[in-house]
Chains A and B, each alone.
Chain A
Amino acid sequence: MGPVTGAAFGWITAAKAVLFFTLLMVVVGMLVLMERKLAGFIQDRSGPNRVGPWGLLQTLADGLKFALKEETLPDRANKTFFLLAPCMALVPATILFAVIPFAAPLPTQWGLVEVIVADAPVGLLYVLAIASLGVYGIVMAGWSSNSKYPFLGGLRGSAQMISYEVGLAMSLVPILLVAGDVRIPNIVAMQQTFEAGPDTVGLWLALPLLVSFFFFTVAGLAESNRIPFDLPEAEEELTAGYHTEYSAMKFGMFFLGEYAHMLTTAALITVFFLGGWDIPFWAGDNIRVLSDGTVIGEPAAWKTLLTFGAFTLKTLLVVAVFMWIRWTLPRFRYDQLMDLGWKFFIPALMAYIMLIAGTILGLESAGLQPGLVYGAVLFAVNLAAAGLLFFVLDRGRIIGGGAYRSTREGRQKRMWREARERAMAAAAGGSGGSGTAPEGG
């Protein structure tokens, strides 16, 4: 059975687009509930439990409320951009889903249907291109509101997202080096169990590219404006940041966009690093369609369903980790955020890309083809790099815990303070005597 061709391709793609958009919106709605439930459990509360069984209909109630509230339009706002901003926030987050493969190809009477809306040959580049559009919604909202808090939020958002986009893109470079391909289904196939076809590492890339995985996760958090990177919103300082002036469904769209962004980031982490829809230690799901149309493996409807389950599980797990982080860590200070982005991410990633490129060059000149040994060597190199990374971060020069910002500064400050105290003590002791000294002199 070959891939779908002809007229069927058109309407099957349209059906997939509608289906996955609906699914995305429903899941995003449920994520809001999941976040509130998880927050409740972490804080020893029970979370929303009044609307429907276990509060399952809470999202519907929230949505209804958004729809029924008054739409406000600030008097001095730039109306065009003010109205455009919520769309610009929601759209990039949702259209990123077009290139994510959800499950193994599904055999139908029209041919083999790949469970991906658009199997773009430029998949990974598309992800980077669209991800960088996300900032426009925030900047537009901040600027067009003509109000101080949204403005500050928009400024912060633009600086933050542009800084971390660099990190996000650079953390994907090692994947390109290993995969040698930007088509996303190929990146998934590459991570599948054992020998699935040509150019297979056979390991989820989270292992052979551990450091990349870490950087992508952190940069993804920053890109989706989640705590600890939610400076554009920063409730305590900026009321609601860039969407302070928005109400009703326009605010709802920012809200949905934020959660959609989080889901997309989680899905991308799953696809790039956690094997996509691959089920570990099982060769039955090694199904892939090569670019010339040949099919490897035996597709089946139940396999599609199973792999879809695996994909969903992994994505939701990543989302749960994001939420866990949100309900634990405090927000970064602005200078810490910028230091982390520019002084740590970019140099570290540059060094890391060199390291991986060198390793791959070494492996290939040693005549090793991509496979388990290849992956194991990369994993060992990454483990060492991760250890080094932890050592650097642990010293607290870029971001520290409490107390002073770096050990050298700390020592210096202590020395200054002690010197000042000594001087003060000397002055106090001296002034006791000096009261009589002039007369004596």
Chain B
Amino acid sequence: MPGNVKVVQRPNETSSYVRAALKGMKVTMKHLLDPHTVTQQYPDEKWELSPRMRGTHRMATHEDGRAKCVACGLCPTVCPVNCIKLIPAEDENGERYAAVYEIDEFRCIFCGYCQEVCPVEAIHLGAHYENSEYTRERWVYDLERLCEQDHPFTALWDPADPRSQ
């Protein structure tokens, strides 16, 4: 045998179809009689999500309902797929805010960099996965829609194990 060829030992004699079939029938009968099922009754029983599950975005707000975003421009910069559109503006007090803030959830790869880079902890990914829309346009979330979302924020690290040890 040349080199390190692995020789697989295969049976040379024929096995019996009858015995193999009966053995198979025994296995299926065992499963038939076993009341255990692995099915999850989905809409009735939901998944238990990990606190680090990265789903669709949510914008944190102040008590008065304004978005926390200060339009610093870090998230569109860090976004690897350019799914965040941000047009900053300044109000009469000289505070920056996002005049336009849109996230295209179809483009998003849910990497979570935007949440990680945000200096004021405004934009977050959320533990949410049940999304469906009738049009593609509805998948571009504007600022108002981002603020309306009420699912839990994604935890960037496991609170019990902050250094991922």
A residues with a Cβ closer than 8 A to B are 38, 40-46, 324-325, 327-329, 390, 393-397, 399-407, 410-411, 413-414, 421, 425, 428
Contact = CB atoms under 8 A, between A and B. Distances in A.
Contact of B31 (A44, A390, A425): A44
B39 A403 contact: no
A400 B32 CA distance: 26
A295 B19 CA distance: 48
Given A401-B17, A404-B14, A406-B14, A324 B39 contact: no
Given A403-B11, A410-B13, A414-B12, A328 B39 contact: no
B49 interface: no
Given A328-B25, A401-B19, A428-B2, A44 B14 contact: no
Contact of B28 (A328, A390, A396, A402): A328
Given A401-B17, A403-B14, A403-B15, A44 B34 contact: yes
21 contacts: A38-B32, A43-B31, A44-B37, A44-B38, A45-B37, A45-B39, A46-B37, A324-B25, A328-B24, A328-B27, A329-B21, A396-B16, A400-B16, A400-B17, A401-B19, A404-B13, A404-B14, A405-B14, A406-B14, A421-B1, A428-B2
B31 A41 contact: yes
Contacts of B8: none
Contact of A396 (B14, B29, B38): B14
B11 A402 contact: yes
B14 A46 contact: no
Given A42-B31, A42-B32, A428-B2, A394 B18 contact: yes
Contacts of A395: 14, 16
B10 interface: yes
Most chain A CB within 10 A, of B28, B31, B41, is at: B28
A377 to B, nearest CB: 27
Nearest to B22: A328
Interface string B108-142: 00000000000000000000000000000000000
Contacts of B27: 328
A188 B25 CA distance: 30
B37 A404 contact: no
A394 B15 CA distance: 8
B31 A45 contact: no
Contact of A404 (B12, B25, B34, B38): B12
Contact of A410 (B14, B16, B19, B31): B14
Contacts of A393: 16-18
Contacts of A401: 14-17, 19-20
A407 B14 contact: yes
Contacts of A327: 28
B6 interface: no
A48 to B, nearest CB: 11
A329 B17 CA distance: 10
Contact of B25 (A40, A41, A45, A325): A325
B153 to A, nearest CB: 33
B46 interface: no
Contacts of A397: 14
B36 interface: yes
Nearest to B16: A394
A387 to B, nearest CB: 12
A407 B12 CA distance: 8
Given A328-B27, A403-B12, A410-B14, 15 more contacts: A43-B31, A44-B37, A45-B38, A46-B39, A324-B25, A325-B25, A327-B28, A329-B24, A396-B14, A396-B17, A400-B15, A400-B16, A401-B17, A403-B13, A406-B14
Contacts of B32: 38, 41-42, 324
Contacts of A428: 2
Nearest to A392: B18
Nearest to A49: B41
Contacts of A411: 12-13
Interface in B78-135: none
A23 B19 CA distance: 38
A380 B162 CA distance: 76
Contacts of B11: 402-403
Contacts of A399: 17
Q: Which 6 A-B pairs have the closest CB atoms?
A: A401-B15, A396-B14, A400-B14, A401-B20, A403-B11, A399-B17
A431 to B, nearest CB: 11
A71 B37 CA distance: 38
B5 to A, nearest CB: 11
A46 B45 CA distance: 14
Contacts of B24: 328-329
Contacts of A421: 1
B35 to A, nearest CB: 8
A294 B14 CA distance: 58
A44 B18 contact: no
A142 B37 CA distance: 39
Contacts of B41: 46
A300 B33 CA distance: 38
B19 A394 contact: yes
A90 B2 CA distance: 61
Nearest to B31: A42
A329 B27 CA distance: 11
Nearest to A399: B17
Nearest to A411: B12
Nearest to B36: A44
Interface string B35-63: 01111010000000000000000000000
